[in-house]
């Protein structure tokens, strides 16, 4: 098992001391945390993002766009199913569990995640903003039909609604689509209340709505943490940086908390 280096261990002690006194905590998570469950990261899904183009000769971002889903749902569902197959059989990991356990132990803990795998809720977290949606929730594009589906294995592509025969789709944000307004409202409401500490885990923080909570907290003097093996947009902004995988760092923090 991977271990933290000496500097990261010292940093963990400082973070644990802050968390002991914190009752209002925000976690921001990205693909890096689920990669430890064996899920491919953005660029690794089926190798699609490596070449940038699909078998149809179009960019993968175009194939997985809201516009393509409307015009040619068979194309979009072809690649949605490939993504789902790459994720099939995977489950939440230690990092997800520790966040869920902290929610039980503290007054107010929220998770803002870009991931669509549903691992945070499966691990037991209640206060989760799945800003890009959840792959397991399907709904009809015409009527009120919706369902929670563990896998796509028995679906015909593109799948049709059993009530009205229109196409159904996963409740995720495809390329070119707007972020869900209600979820943005919840995020804004919770950010307005404020947090005692904000932690960014396994995300490159390239989207403004993902980096902004860190930037805003930093300006207010609120402690901020990044757990990521790589350097990112916020690496020079955060109060504390741990260059290790999420599970390793969070387990050490959890141990320091005496849990």
N residues, the chain: 259
CB 22 within 8 A of CB 16: no
- Angstrom distances, CA of residue 80 to CA of 49, 55, 76, 151, 173: 13, 14, 6, 12, 12
- The answer to whether the bond into 158 is cis (omega within 30° of 0) is yes
CA distances from 39 to 44, 70, 84, 173 (A): 9, 28, 10, 19
User: What tokens appear for 167 in the block?
Assistant: 């196409």
Q: Please, what is the Cα angle at 136 between 29 and 102, to 5 degrees?
A: 35
DSSP state at residue 244: S
CA–chain centroid gap for 129, Å, is: 9
Catalytic residues, by residue number, are 132
Using alpha carbons, select from 98, 127, 100, 103 the residue that is nearest to residue 247.
98
Secondary structure (3-state) at 11: helix
Q: Sign (positive/negative) of CA torsion 73, 132, 244, 104? A: negative
Pairing of strands 197-201, 224-227: parallel
The 3-state DSSP class for residue 174 equals coil
């Amino acid at each position: 098992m991977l271990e933290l280096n000496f500097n990261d261990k010292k940093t963990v002690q400082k973070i644990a001391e802050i968390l002991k006194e914190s009752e209002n905590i925000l976690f921001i998570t990205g693909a890096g945390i689920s990669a430890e469950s064996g899920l491919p990261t953005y660029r690794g899904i089926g190798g699609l993002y490596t070449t940038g183009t699909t078998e149809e000769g179009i960019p993968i971002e175009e194939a997985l766009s809201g516009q393509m889903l409307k015009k040619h749902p068979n194309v979009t569902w072809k690649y949605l199913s490939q993504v789902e197959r790459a994720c099939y059989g995977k489950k939440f990991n230690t990092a997800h569990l520790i966040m869920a356990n902290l929610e039980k132990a503290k007054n107010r803990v929220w998770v803002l995640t870009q991931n669509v795998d549903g691992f945070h809720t499966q691990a037991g977290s209640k206060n989760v903003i799945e800003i890009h949606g959840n792959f397991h929730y399907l709904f009809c594009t015409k009527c009120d039909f919706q369902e929670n589906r563990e896998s796509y294995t028995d679906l015909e592509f593109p799948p049709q609604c059993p009530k009205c025969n229109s196409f159904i789709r996963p409740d995720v944000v495809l390329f070119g689509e707007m972020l869900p307004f209600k979820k943005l409202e919840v995020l804004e409401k919770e950010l307005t209340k404020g947090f005692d500490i904000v932690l960014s885990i396994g995300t490159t923080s390239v989207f403004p709505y993902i980096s902004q909570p860190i930037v805003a907290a930093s300006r207010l003097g609120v402690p901020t943490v990044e757990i990521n093996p790589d350097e990112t947009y916020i690496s020079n902004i955060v109060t504390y940086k741990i260059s290790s995988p999420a599970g390793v760092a969070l387990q050490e923090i959890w141990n320091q908390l005496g849990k």
